[in-house]
């Protein structure tokens, strides 16, 4: 019992001391909340400065800061930027060193003049770059030129954020000679996209074959037109008439003057001529002159001669109607064989000359053909060729004499007599 009482007294003392300390703390907190110091000596009073009239006027004139807006500065400056705008200005950059034909400043929504006077914060440039990237990303944007513009946006960001590159960009804006000297003048030219080489070669090959066919057709047509005109107008030898043209005229006249039965089979030539002649006689009542009669005869002969000429496929000398053999592809295929044959023949020819052997018949014919040309050689008959070979026209003097004979043969009989007299007097070389 005695120990128990001692413990009770001890606990009562502890509780009393705790209660006293709690009351003291509560009293101190109340004094602090009321703002009353514990003593005047411990907390000195602050001396307030005296306000004068000048200070009061100055304080009233000073504007107060507007703290109502809580937006940061970069957000205020970037509020009017439109990322969807396509007005990107222009710049001369044919080599696409910078932003190509667009202005790097305009792409990011800046102006060249204002940018130099008050450069924007790097945060604003980055913010606009990201906004443009989201707008023009090829995977998200529906614009048809989104890919191209996305590349230009990246390039514009690189130019404006790099001080050295932007300095060069600004300098070349007004100095194109510096651009040419650094990046070359070839940038002024733009080249078409490369074509498939095989297709180009094939196209050229087809055009060349078509051209060779029409070229051969044109050569044949020239000879056909001249032969037709010579036969219809009855050209003399001096004017350019040939035995072929005279033979054609005789055939056409035979058809024209045929009997009515034969005429019906050959195109009613005689009936048309006689009917036209009779009608003119009846209308005019006068006799037709020789000139008019000749003209009527030529008009009647023309279709007949044309039909006969067009039946002639080959005039000789390479003047024939075009065939598949005249195509360039065939000519190129035969060229190696022709070259090899010519080389072999010339080799044999010069070896025989070194051996001092006489010319064989084949060599004489080849030399004669080379002297007069393939056209003349092909137009001559076998008898005429034999005469030409006998005259040894590969010798210069013999060829000049033969050419003179051909010239005289084409003259009229009166001109031939006149030429013989002049030559006898020595007035013709």
| Domain parsing of the chain, residue ranges | 1-33, 85-188, 199-310, 325-424
Least Cα distance to 152 among 206, 200, 86 occurs for 86
Buried b (16+ CB within 10 A) or exposed e, 344-356: eeeeebeeeeeee
Point out the least confidently predicted range of 76-80, 121-125, 245-249, 264-268.
264-268
CATH topology of domain 85-188: Helix Hairpins (1.10.287)
Contact 169, 159 (CB under 8 A): yes
**At residue 239, does pLDDT exceed 70?**
yes
Looking at every residue in the chain, the average pLDDT score rounds to: 78
Calculate ∠ Cα 304-310-314, nearest 5°. 140
CA–CA separation, 149 and 144 (whole Å): 10
CA–CA separation, 267 and 301 (whole Å): 11
Alpha helices in 35-121 (DSSP H): 53-61, 73-77, 104-107, 112-117
CA–CA separation, 81 and 108 (whole Å): 9
Least Cα distance to 137 among 150, 119, 124, 127 occurs for 150
Instruction: For CA atoms 242, 243, 244, 249, give the dihedral sign.
Output: positive
Residue 411's pLDDT band, with cuts at 50, 70 and 90, is confident
Point out the least confidently predicted range of 179-183, 258-262, 314-318.
258-262
Point out the least confidently predicted range of 54-63, 280-289, 403-412.
54-63
Would the pTM count as exceeding 0.75?
no
Point out the least confidently predicted range of 36-45, 257-266, 399-408.
36-45
Helix axes 243-256, 197-232, angle to 10 degrees: 70
DSSP type of residue 188: G
**Would you state the pLDDT for residue 92?**
80
**At residue 45, does pLDDT exceed 60?**
no
**At residue 298, does pLDDT exceed 60?**
yes
If you compute the radius of gyration of the chain from its CA atoms, what whole number of angstroms results? 58
């Amino acid at each position: 019992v005695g120990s128990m009482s001692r413990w009770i007294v001890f606990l009562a003392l502890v509780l009393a001391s705790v209660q006293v300390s709690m009351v003291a703390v509560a009293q101190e907190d109340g004094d602090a909340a009321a703002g009353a110091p514990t003593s005047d000596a411990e907390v000195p009073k602050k001396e307030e400065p005296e306000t004068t009239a000048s200070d009061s006027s100055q304080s009233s004139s000073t504007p107060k800061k507007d703290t109502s807006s809580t937006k940061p500065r970069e957000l205020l400056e970037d509020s009017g930027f439109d990322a969807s705008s396509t007005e990107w200005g222009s710049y001369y950059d044919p080599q696409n060193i910078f932003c190509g034909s667009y202005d790097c400043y305009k792409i990011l929504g800046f102006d060249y003049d204002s940018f130099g006077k008050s450069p924007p914060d790097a945060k604003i440039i980055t913010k606009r770059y990201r906004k443009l990237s989201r707008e023009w990303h090829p995977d998200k944007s529906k614009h048809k030129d989104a890919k191209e513009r996305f590349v230009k946006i990246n390039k514009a960001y690189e130019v404006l954020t790099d001080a050295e590159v932007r300095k060069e960009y600004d300098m070349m804006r007004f100095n194109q000679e510096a651009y040419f000297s650094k990046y070359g003048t070839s940038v002024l030219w733009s080249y078409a996209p490369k074509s498939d080489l095989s297709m180009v070669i094939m196209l050229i090959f087809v055009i060349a074959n078509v051209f060779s066919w029409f070229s051969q057709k044109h050569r044949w047509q020239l000879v056909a037109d001249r032969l037709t005109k010579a036969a219809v107008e009855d050209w003399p030898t001096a004017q350019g008439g040939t035995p072929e043209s005279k033979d054609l005229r005789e055939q056409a006249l035979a058809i024209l003057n045929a009997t009515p039965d034969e005429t019906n089979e050959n195109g009613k030539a005689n009936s048309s001529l006689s009917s036209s002649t009779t009608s003119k006689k009846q209308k005019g009542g006068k006799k037709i002159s020789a000139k008019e009669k000749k003209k009527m005869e030529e008009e009647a002969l023309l279709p007949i001669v044309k039909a006969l000429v067009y039946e002639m496929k080959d005039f000789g000398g390479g003047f024939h109607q075009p065939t598949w053999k005249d195509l360039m592809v065939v000519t190129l295929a035969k060229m190696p064989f022709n070259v090899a044959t010519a080389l072999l023949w010339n080799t044999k020819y010069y070896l025989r000359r070194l051996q001092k052997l006489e010319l064989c018949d084949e060599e004489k014919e080849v030399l004669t053909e080379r002297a007069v040309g393939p056209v003349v050689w092909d137009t001559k008959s076998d008898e005429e060729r034999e005469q030409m070979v006998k005259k040894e026209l590969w010798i210069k003097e013999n060829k000049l004499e033969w050419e003179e004979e051909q010239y005289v043969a084409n003259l009229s009989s009166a001109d031939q007599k006149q030429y013989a007299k002049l030559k006898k007097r020595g007035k013709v070389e």
